[in-house]
Amino acid sequence: MEAVEIKNLLQQQLGVDIEWCSDENGVGDPFAVVPAEKWLEACRLARGHEQLQFDYLRALTGTDRPEQEVIEVVAHLFSYRLRHPFVLKTRAQRTQPVLDSISAVWPAAEWYEREIFDLLGVDFRGHRDLRRIMMPDDWPGHPLRKDYQQPDDYHGIPTSRPRAEEQAND
């Protein structure tokens, strides 16, 4: 099934307009953007619909888009049975980013969601163990936010070190 056909099927089944982006030059993967309130429903449909059968979550990532005041969450999907890929996105409001967890749809999403929570601050509603995965529990802020300011120290430990050339001069 072609990507635009997948997008059209999702749009019809969800009953909402879905943003579509496809490069006519074939550069980059085409993708569809579903509204945040339809994220979980779209993912369940992508996994369970007989014409889609996206049984593999290749990756789940997040990107801070402060100019749009959103955090974008991107699912790269693949169907082994039907041999087609697809990219599905959604956008959470940057001030209070909340999305439904898709870990019940694809169990691998549990770890990805924890990483996105830790580094971008997206709260995944319904996640069974949403806690930091890379940073200490009391680390201030979310390091992949574009406006993140790294603290000079953490519990008295410096968070940066001199460059190699600076050390050579000492």
**37-62 per-position pLDDT tens digit:** 999 999 999 999 999 999 999 999 99
Q: How far separated are the first and last CA of the chain, in Å rounded?
A: 62
Q: Which domain holds residue 138?
A: 3-147
Which pLDDT tens digit goes with each residue over 116-136? 999 999 999 999 999 999 999
What's the total number of domains in the chain? 1
Residue 25 lies in a domain: yes
What CATH number is associated with residue 24?
3.30.460.80
**pLDDT band at 95, cuts 50/70/90?**
very high
Residue 89 lies in a domain: yes
pTM above 0.85, yes or no: yes
**pLDDT band at 167, cuts 50/70/90?**
low
Q: How far is CA 5 from the centre of its chain?
A: 23
Say if residue 165's pLDDT is above 70. Answer: no
What value does the mean pLDDT of the chain take?
A: 93
Residue 101 lies in a domain: yes
Tokens 């429903």 locate to: 41
Residue 110 lies in a domain: yes
